[in-house]
Amino acid sequence: SRTVERGADGVVTVGGVDVRTLAAEFGTPAYVMDEADFRARARAWRDAFGAGADVYYAGKAFLSKAVVRWLHEEGLNVDVCSSGELHVALAAGMPGERIALHGNNKSVGELEQAVKAGVGHIVVDSFQEIERLAAIADAQGVRQPVLIRITVGVEAHTHEFIATAHEDQKFGLSLSGGLAAEAVRRVLARPSLELRGIHSHIGSQIFDFAGFEVAARRVVGLLAEVRDEHGVELPEIDLGGGLGIAYTAEDDPREPAEIAASLTDIVRRECAAAELTPPRISVEPGRAIVGPTAFTLYEVGTVKALEGLRTYVSVDGGMSDNIRTALYDAEYSVALVSRTSAAEPMLARVVGKHCESGDIVVKDAFLPADLAPGDLIAVPATGAYCRSMASNYNHALKPPVLAVADGAARVIVRRETEEDLLRLDIG
């Protein structure tokens, strides 16, 4: 579904628009998002799970009003984890009942706003929060639907998963320690809360389904325990997000249809064995929807060849628009996109303009040896966790997000200006 193409002149177009035109019109650096690809990925998730399930796009990956409208139109819901994200989702017209609220330490204000907005469910994450939320719902005279976030003892990352001992973290209420069962008792005891189900999220950038499958089995196991202890069958489970995407050619991502089939099948089998009616399933993909849909367009500023080592290519952004390389040692690829080159490849490191040597965007990459100031280069797969984790380090101005579709580009989040920074600085 991607509309990124390279012409005979070596110039890359996206959605029918030439990157040189984008740079000239909107400046660099810029995040360039392929709207058709975003919509297609959102639809693929919705279609994979079908009418018997709900897809909540994880707004933390990237959230803006345009994106919320696309999600609304494509039949997805939104998962938010702060009042800021809630605000954007509501401002874009997402109905409250299609929003879910997350977080391990939501403030009283955030809980109040979410209840007032009539969010579809709130995922409770601690005993204190159960009490806080019950009181707030009570005061507003509503019965608030909730899920309980549990820790299933599985933590999954990239190519492996570990099914023991990963309970030493801040999220959720542990299954093995009995905290999850206690949370169920406490929520059921509060008339202003309606317990809809159980939530689990095991990690991010995962390729191996084994971790999801163990989690699904354990969540269904808890549903059976709840039925046995309380005589109620909870109608929903949420299995979180986490499906990995390709950052480099070595990554081999799985399709939403594959994970939907695998999870639906496991839940159906486990429920049959426990004599439970299968619950409605929801999932919360963020990266897998938005990650591949955008690239960052940079202009090369300086090129420094270090004899016998590598060539440092400095661009007009850096760790302020993509912290993932510095923070997680994340791998990215990069390509020259504004012209063709017959030059030999050289080992390059793409770095930013910030005042520290860890300011690396792409650690090791081959770029043509004739790369020169003024060339445009693109780093793919920066749609998730780049703009949303961007900072103003060195008073950098956060780049705009451009949406390109059908031969036209428009700004959906504008570039920051010095005035934006000074507006916050009241002297």
Footprint on this chain of ligand LLP (rule: CB under 6 A): 58, 60-61, 79, 102, 201, 204-205, 240-243, 284-288, 324, 328, 384-385
Q: 81, 271, 355, 386: which is the annotated catalytic residue?
A: 355
Helices (H) and strands (E) in the chain, counts: 12, 23
- Taking alpha carbons only, the member of 202, 251, 195 closest to residue 223 is 195
| 419 labelled ligand-binding | no
**Is residue 16 packed enough to be buried (19+ CB in 10 Å), middle (13-18) or exposed (0-12)?**
middle
Length of the chain: 427
In eight-state DSSP terms, residue 277 is P
| 5 labelled ligand-binding | no
330 in Cβ contact with 247 (< 8 Å): yes
- As measured in angstroms, the least distance from the Cβ of 147 to ligand LLP is 10
* DSSP-derived secondary structure for 412-423: EEPPP-HHHHHH
Cα separation, 55 vs 77, in Å, equals 6
Judged by beta carbon, residue 201 or residue 349, the one nearer ligand LLP is 201
The partner residues of 110 in beta bridges, in order of sequence, read none
- As measured in angstroms, the least distance from the Cβ of 213 to ligand LLP is 17
* DSSP-derived secondary structure for 42-67: HHHHHHHH-TTEEEEEETTS---HHH
- As measured in angstroms, the least distance from the Cβ of 278 to ligand LLP is 21
| 285 labelled ligand-binding | yes
Judged by beta carbon, residue 102 or residue 349, the one nearer ligand LLP is 102
The amino acid that residue 31 corresponds to is Y
Cα separation, 46 vs 36, in Å, equals 15
Cα separation, 58 vs 34, in Å, equals 18
Judged by beta carbon, residue 7 or residue 358, the one nearer ligand LLP is 358
- Give the end-to-end CA distance of the chain in Å, rounded to a whole number: 49
- As measured in angstroms, the least distance from the Cβ of 422 to ligand LLP is 29
- As measured in angstroms, the least distance from the Cβ of 18 to ligand LLP is 30
331 in Cβ contact with 382 (< 8 Å): no
Judged by beta carbon, residue 41 or residue 60, the one nearer ligand LLP is 60
Judged by beta carbon, residue 161 or residue 385, the one nearer ligand LLP is 385
| 286 labelled ligand-binding | yes
Q: What are phi and psi of 251, to 5 degrees?
A: -75, 140
Judged by beta carbon, residue 171 or residue 312, the one nearer ligand LLP is 171
* Residue 355 annotated among the catalytic residues of the structure: yes
Q: At 349, list the tokens.
A: 């490191």
Which of left, alpha, beta for 222 (phi over 0: left; psi -120 to 50: alpha)? alpha
- As measured in angstroms, the least distance from the Cβ of 13 to ligand LLP is 28
DSSP 3-state of 205: coil
| 385 labelled ligand-binding | yes
Binding site: what residues are annotated?
242, 284-287, 324, 328, 356, 385
The binding site for pyridoxal 5'-phosphate consists of 242, 284-287, 385
* Residues tagged in the binding site annotation for substrate: 287, 324, 328, 356, 385
Catalytic residues: 355
